[in-house]
Chains A and B, each alone.
Chain A
Amino acid sequence: MNTTVIVADDDQDIRSLVSIAVGKAGLDLLASVGDGALALAAIQKYQPDLAILDVSMPEMTGLEVCRAVRGDSAIGDVRILLLSASVDEQSQSIGIEAGADYFLAKPFSPRELASWLSVGKEPR
């Protein structure tokens, strides 16, 4: 069974770019949404293996979604990759503290994201 993924970013183009990388890595994209609240709902609904979340999103930020996911035992074991356009070095540690497993700074290379996803696609 393929690793299942949901993607959330308020920027439609970035969302598509991530989705393409997910496809290239051969993972199953279950949902692609534009804000944090929808992301949390999608995670609860699909219970994916991996959630790729942008940090700054309307409704709920990526960090808030992280904390909500880690506080919910039913979906608590989903892995989370945070995307951020911030270069502030603190933002990475804040993300990890909020419960994210991985952190990726924008701009990113879709090629590298795809290769990373294909290596790490096996569920834990």
Chain B
Amino acid sequence: MSDLLNRISERLSSDLDHPSPAVKQSATAIAVVAAAVLTLLVPGLGFSNTTVAVTGIAIIAFATLLSLIFTRSEGLERYALLIPVIDLFGLGAFRAGTGGTASLWASLIILPVVWLAAAEGRRYIVYAGLGTSVALMVPFLVSLSWPQTPGEWLRGFFTPLVFAVAAAIVNELARQSRKQLRSIKDLAEEKERMLQRTVEYAAQLQESEAKYRAFDRMFRGVWAAVTEQSVIGTDATGLVDAWNPGATKILGPTAAEAEDKLHIFDFHLPEELEERARELNYPPGETVLNPGFSALVETARLGQAESREWTYRRSDGTLVPVQLSVTKRVDEEGRTRGYLFVASDVTQAREVARLKDEFVGLISHELRTPLSSILGYLELMRDDEDNPLSEEHLQYLGVAERNAHRLLRLVGDLLFTAQVESGKFPLDSRMVPLETIVTAAIESARPVADTAGIQLVQKLPDGPAVVHGDPVRLGQAVDNLISNAIKFTPRGGTVTLALDVTADKAVITVRDTGMGIAASELDKLFSRFFRASTATRNAVPGVGLGLTITKAIVTAHHGEMGVESEEGVGTCFSMSLPLSAVAAAV
């Protein structure tokens, strides 16, 4: 339809709006040729002034030649209106040569007049009238005499006036025709643009559909690939509407058996749900039908992520411990549409943790029992008054005892680390004056420091520094830091133990002038079994548990560990502990 419209419009515009100057001129040229031939052939006619008539024909021929040139070269087309003007002179001359005012061919003047009048702009009406007037005056110009009779004068003005009126009508018609053409063209262009937009829109639609399909395939692939986690979607009441292969593996039912038939809470232990509901004070949730379900999704409903351990009951009745994350599903307006339950089977993880605890306990027991015998019998040997040992033997015995004790400490540290890791870390807390702990630590470290040739310096605050904590554990932490400092400081160095009190905390710092720790190793310092390269390079004994234990103790007291060090200059460890509220008030 629009194609047809376009074609018609194009045809109209090329033929009517833009006919070439040659086409326009052809009418005049043919008419003049016909007139000349008729003048020669028809009896009674004939040239009244052959020279002038031939001049007129020559002028027309020139104009025709010009029209052909203008048609050929595009740039000259705007001068095309010269052609009808020249035609008017030519026709004027032709008329003058074929009878003057009595010429049969005066009416030919209408042809260039129409051409001129059809041009865009009202001024061409005037040009057409003037041109006609001039053309009609040519006979008088040729005979070099003014019109003699009033009738002749009148003809010189009245006829151009009539022609001018005709020109005005043609001009107006042409103008309207152009207007119509323009609106038809605009309409066609608008149609074209809309069509283009439709095509573009269709392409976009196709592209986004392809993207959607790709995403859909991806999603389905992922959904099917998750076989070790159960992923279950429900509506806001807990009715299952999505069930992945992992859910089938962990819980039993297939997607077809579960979707739109089962509720998520069918797989939970009622007592666990009840307990959680009690903990949360029976949240109202979005369904009052099942308080357990409301409790299950309460955190997610409030828009937070939640992950906790639950027990699922399989369809065969067996139980499986899971780590379950619950998230909210919302629609485009942000309304809750349901929930997503992602669960991992933690049976194995739990078993591993249990075995680890059991193993550590067993190892600890199995190592401590022979150590008990070794230490006990060594002591018996030392105490045997009937067979006193030589000085040399006593020295050997001392070495054996020292190493047995070292082994015993290591076992204790290992066991303690395992306890910290499994969260079983008993603290026997009471009010502890830290200055006594610091003083005791200095005293017990003094023999070792003396042997190693290291000066121990103690700095205490004026006032008391009381914290709430386990004195044995805190002592162990400070002992660890001091014994480390002594171990890593060469003979002649200094280890300074300082206790400072600020507004709300007590800070114990242990500063040494030892070998230091590389900056790159500072953050690994508190990891289990980590040993600084300066320690291994200098063959300082140890297994890398002391700082782990120290940090665990400080953390358990809500305190913080800090460390600053420069290789070859020294290290400063600090432990800051919150002051007891009671003590702070004193």
Binding site for B on A (CB under 8 A): 11, 13-14, 17, 20, 56, 85-90, 106-111
Binds A, one of B41-49, B273-281, B333-341, B368-376: B368-376
Q: In the docked arrangement, what's the CA distance between A109 and B381, Å?
A: 12
Taking CB atoms, residues of chain B closer than 8 Å to A17 are: 372-373, 376-377, 380
Flag B364-389 by CB within 8 Å of A: 1 or 0 each.
11001101110111011001000000
Give chain A residues whose Cβ lies under 8 Å from the Cβ of B398.
none
Q: A87-B415, A107-B376, A111-B383 are in contact. Are A14 and B369 (CB under 8 A)?
A: yes
Contact of A106 among B369, B380, B428 (CB under 8 A): B369
Given A11-B369, A87-B412, answer yes or no on A108-B376 (Cβ-Cβ < 8 Å): yes
Cα(A17)–Cα(B365), bound, Å: 18
CA distance A85 to B365 in the complex (A): 6
Interface of B is mostly: helix
Q: Which residues of B contact A20 (CB under 8 A)?
A: 380
Q: How far is the CA of A106 from the CA of B404 in the complex (A)?
A: 13
Q: Which 10 A/B pairs are nearest by Cβ-Cβ distance?
A: A107-B372, A106-B372, A85-B368, A13-B373, A17-B376, A107-B375, A85-B365, A110-B376, A89-B426, A85-B369
The answer to whether B126 has its CB under 8 Å from any CB of chain A is no
Number of A-B contacts (CB under 8 A): 51
| Contact call A14/B376, Cβ cutoff below 8 A | yes
In angstroms, Cα B379 to Cα A17, docked, is 10
A12 and chain B: residue at smallest CB distance: B373
Q: Which residues of A contact B372 (CB under 8 A)?
A: 14, 17, 85, 106-108
Give CA–CA (A20, B376) in the complex, Å.
10
Most buried by B among A56, A90, A106, A109: A106
Distance (whole angstroms) from the CB of A20 to the closest CB of chain B: 6
Name which residue of chain A comes closest to B472, CB basis: A89
Residues of A within 8 A of B428 (CB): 89
21 example contacts (A-B, Cβ-Cβ < 8 A) are as follows A11-B369, A13-B373, A14-B369, A14-B372, A17-B372, A17-B373, A17-B380, A56-B365, A85-B369, A85-B372, A86-B361, A87-B412, A89-B428, A106-B372, A107-B375, A107-B408, A109-B375, A109-B376, A109-B379, A110-B379, A111-B383
- A107:B383 contact, CB within 8 angstroms: no
Give Cα A13 to B412, complex, Å: 22
| B51 smallest CB distance to A (angstroms) | 143
Query: Contacts A17-B376, A17-B377, A111-B383 hold; do A106 and B368 have CB atoms under 8 A apart?
Result: yes
| B-chain residues with CB within 8 Å of residue A88 when the two chains form the complex | 426
Query: CA separation between A20 and B386, bound complex, in Å?
Result: 15
CB distance from A96 to the nearest CB of B (A): 15
Q: Range of interface residues on chain B?
A: 10 to 19
In B389-418, the 8 Å CB interface with A consists of 408, 412, 415
Contacts of A107 in B (CB 8 A): 368, 371-372, 375-376, 408
Task: Tell me which residues across on chain B come within 8 A of A89, comparing CB atoms.
Answer: 426, 428
Check B426 against A110 for contact (C-beta < 8 Å).
no
Which has the most chain A C-beta neighbours within 10 Å: B372, B375, B377, B383?
B372
Q: Evaluate contact between B365 and A11: CB separation under 8 angstroms.
A: no
Are A110 and B380 in contact, CB atoms less than 8 angstroms apart?
A: yes
Inter-chain contacts of A111 with B (CB < 8 A): 379, 383
A39, B369: Cα distance in complex, Å: 19
Q: In the complex the two chains form, what is the Cα distance from A88 to B372 in whole Å?
A: 16
CB distance from B569 to the nearest CB of A (A): 38
Cα A20 to Cα B377 with chains together (Å): 10
Are the C-beta atoms of A87 and B373 separated by less than 8 Å? no
Given the known interface contacts A11-B373, A110-B379, the answer about A90 and B426 at a Cβ–Cβ threshold of 8 Å is yes
Q: Assuming A14-B369, A17-B376, A89-B426, what are 20 further A-B pairs, CB within 8 angstroms?
A: A11-B373, A85-B364, A85-B365, A85-B368, A85-B369, A86-B361, A86-B365, A87-B415, A89-B428, A90-B426, A106-B368, A106-B369, A107-B368, A107-B408, A108-B376, A109-B376, A110-B376, A110-B380, A111-B379, A111-B383
State the CA gap A13–B369 with chains docked (Å).
Answer: 9
B373→A14 contact, CB < 8 A? yes
CB neighbors of A among B63-99 (8 A): none
Distance, CA A17 to CA B372, complexed state (A)? 9
Chain B residue nearest to A18 in the complex (CB): B376
Chain A hits for B379, CB < 8 A: 109-111
Q: Which residues of A contact B364 (CB under 8 A)?
A: 85-87
**Docked CA distance A56–B361 (Å):** 12
Q: Nearest Cβ in chain A — how far from B336, in angstroms?
A: 46
**Residues of chain B contacted by A108 (CB below 8 angstroms):** 372, 376
What separation, in Å, do the CA atoms of A65 and B364 have in the docked complex?
Answer: 23
Minimum Cβ distance to chain B for residue A111 (Å): 6
CB distance from A4 to the nearest CB of B (A): 23
